[in-house]
Chains A and B, each alone.
Chain A
Amino acid sequence: QKEVEQNSGPLSVPEGAIASLNCTYSDRGSQSFFWYRQYSGKSPELIMSIYSNGDKEDGRFTAQLNKASQYVSLLIRDSQPSDSATYLCAVIRGSTLGRLYFGRGTQLTVWP
């Protein structure tokens, strides 16, 4: 079983819709969770971090964490074509100095 799993997609939503991206992780001791966005040909950009169960909102983005289910998600409200990118879920095992594991990424396309 991989450390971090994501649906590779592609996920396609119309402009203005909510895009829902999901991620599961295998290590129950994981404490830190991140979402990165990667545009084609560019390096990943950190968009959200979450450490506690529940929701964390930042603008149009909401990260949701459920440690009991070992599940973390990212919701993008009012999706825009500029949100079209690959979204990477990342998890740190143990302390903040632990190894960072990435999922394979979910490709999102927002069509006008």
Chain B
Amino acid sequence: GAVVSQHPSWVICKSGTSVKIECRSLDFQATTMFWYRQFPKQSLMLMATSNEGSKATYEQGVEKDKFLINHASLTLSTLTVTSAHPEDSSFYICSARATDGLAFFGQGTRLTVV
């Protein structure tokens, strides 16, 4: 399958700081990228959908000013968690989808806010 690289795989940050997570599709152009959050033993929760060059569409209840998404090119999307707090600690996963509809996931980023 296609390769989606997500970086970093884990990060620990202090409360109040910001963290940026990158998601790259390495061998295909991603028309759409998705950002998910997953708490332990729970299902994937879609946070936002982004298309290259346009503003992200956020799911209900997700603060767009706190979770900044930039989809600058067909191969790169970033998620910035601003002013992180301990309750933001979670597993963040990106997914990139090509025009054939197949969506592939990055490795995920485990964020711990202390």
Contacts and interface: CB of A to CB of B under 8 A. Distances in A.
Interface stretch (A18-26, A61-69, A70-78, A96-104): A96-104
Given A88-B44, A100-B97, A43 B34 contact: no
Contact of A42 (B43, B49, B108): B108
A96 B99 contact: yes
Nearest to B51: A97
Interface of B: 1, 6, 31-32, 34, 43-44, 46, 49, 91, 93, 95, 97, 99-108
B63 to A, nearest CB: 20
Contacts of A103: 43
B99 A44 contact: no
A31 to B, nearest CB: 8
A105 B43 contact: yes
Nearest to B108: A43
A17 interface: no
